[in-house]
Structure 1
Amino acid sequence: MYETFDQIADDIAGRLEEAANSRHSPMHTPVVATRDADARVMVLRAYDRATRTLRFHTDARSLKCDVIGEGAPVGVLLYDQAAKIQLRCRGTGRIERDGPIADAAWEASTTFARRCYLGDGPGTEVEQPSSGLPEWVEGRQPTEEEVAPAREHFAVLLVELAVVDWFFLSNDGHRRAVIDMVTRVGRWITP
């Protein structure tokens, strides 16, 4: 089934597109790791095959935005248990707070999703369990006007993929390949 590097590169791109477009995809919520050895689960919002770029939404006040800034190494781990395929992606991340990509991502989001950026910044210490959201917005969908102030806290994390380590688990024998996403050149390695 997976005999050539082109097949594997196409499989990777197809899985990333599906993960971004379907919240039911097992790869929709990958683990994203930054150079400070911090890792977190994030929702994959888009994958651009032409530029090999993953897009995530994030709070501009989060620590990862400072760590990544305008360019830093980022790892993204995705796993499809049913297909038995793991993707270990490595690339360069950058945070965009303003500009056409961030603006379009904000506009495409629902007001319910935008309300997440109304609250306290991620990691704020609180006295009791809390979503961090203002009480007036808890449990309801706010209006466009009500979420407008949250735009200053919204950002996108873009990860331009350089290399993907593709791992297929099989009773017939596992297969593993490393694909350079720029050149589509690959090499087989032992699992």
Structure 2
Amino acid sequence: MFDDLDEVRTDLSNRLIRAANDRKAPMHTPAVVTSDVDARVMVLRAFDQKTWTLRFHTDTRAPKVGSIEDDPRMAVLFYDKGAKIQIRAKGRGQILRDTEVTKSAWDNGSNFARRCYLGAGPGTESDAPTSGLPAQFEGIEPSDEDLNPAWDNFAVLLVSLEELDWLYLAHTGHVRAQFRRRGDEWQGRWVSP
């Protein structure tokens, strides 16, 4: 049973660290919501515990990029069914193109993963079911040289967290805590579920 706010904040942080580093972690693919109330599942690539920043990868041509640049307010929903813990996070998104962070993220990806940025942009209409990939890269890992045009379509989405809502579902009674960021400090409180 969680009964200490510092313990809950540590649990939050540890779950986000694991979600970013373990592709089998239940919170590895949260729902990400932009200010235009559009939601999608994304892969959490990194969590910076010092700055409480989430990192995702995105295609520069995706509609969410324009939404985030117009209004950076975002929400991210994590759920661990086995632990019965839900984390709702709110923050501000930032799209990074051609920066050191973006270059590092690109360099650490596999060619198989980077090939996604070679195809048609997200939401491009098609007459038939399609992956959007050029035919020569369907099921094939492209070379570094083949991927040169894909770099222009790759970006990093950073979400700087400002509010956290942690909910533990228990048959004995649910427990909920909220945290709000004030500068570098987090202020927590217990609330009714």
Using the size of structure 2 for normalisation, the TM-score is 0.96
State the shift of 1:172 in Å: 1.4
Q: 1:70 to 1:99 in 2, by over 3 A?
A: farther
Residue 187 of structure 2 is matched in structure 1 by: 185
State the shift of 1:14 in Å: 0.4
Residue 74 of structure 2 is matched in structure 1 by: 74
Given that 1:59 and 1:153 are in contact with CA atoms closer than 8 Å, whether structure 2 keeps it comes out as yes
Gaps of 5+ in 1: none
Is the aligned partner of 1:17 residue 2:17?
yes
Cα deviations across residues 72-131 of structure 1 (Å, max 9, x unaligned)?
Answer: 101000000000000000000010011111110000000000000000000000000000
Q: 1:104 to 1:70 in 2, by over 3 A?
A: farther
SS for the counterpart of 1:58 is strand
Matches within 5 A, 1:156-167: 156-167=156-167
Cα deviations across residues 123-165 of structure 1 (Å, max 9, x unaligned)?
Answer: 0000000000000000011111111210000001100000110
User: Which letter does structure 2 place at the counterpart of 1:175?
Assistant: V
State the shift of 1:64 in Å: 0.5
Matches within 5 A, 1:44-63: 44-63=44-63
State the shift of 1:185 in Å: 1.4
SS for the counterpart of 1:166 is strand
Given that 1:71 and 1:94 are in contact with CA atoms closer than 8 Å, whether structure 2 keeps it comes out as no
- Cα distance between partner residues in 2 of 1:14 and 1:71: 29
Residue 143 of structure 1 is matched in structure 2 by: 143
- Coordinate RMSD, CA, aligned: 1.0
Count of residue correspondences = 191
Using the size of structure 1 for normalisation, the TM-score is 0.97
State the shift of 1:184 in Å: 2.2
User: Which letter does structure 2 place at the counterpart of 1:187?
Assistant: R
SS for the counterpart of 2:136 is helix
State the shift of 1:65 in Å: 0.5
Cα deviations across residues 28-56 of structure 1 (Å, max 9, x unaligned)?
Answer: 00000001010000000000000100000
- Cα distance between partner residues in 2 of 1:5 and 1:44: 25
SS for the counterpart of 1:167 is strand
Q: 1:70 to 1:36 in 2, by over 3 A?
A: closer
- Cα distance between partner residues in 2 of 1:70 and 1:106: 25
Gaps of 5+ in 2: none
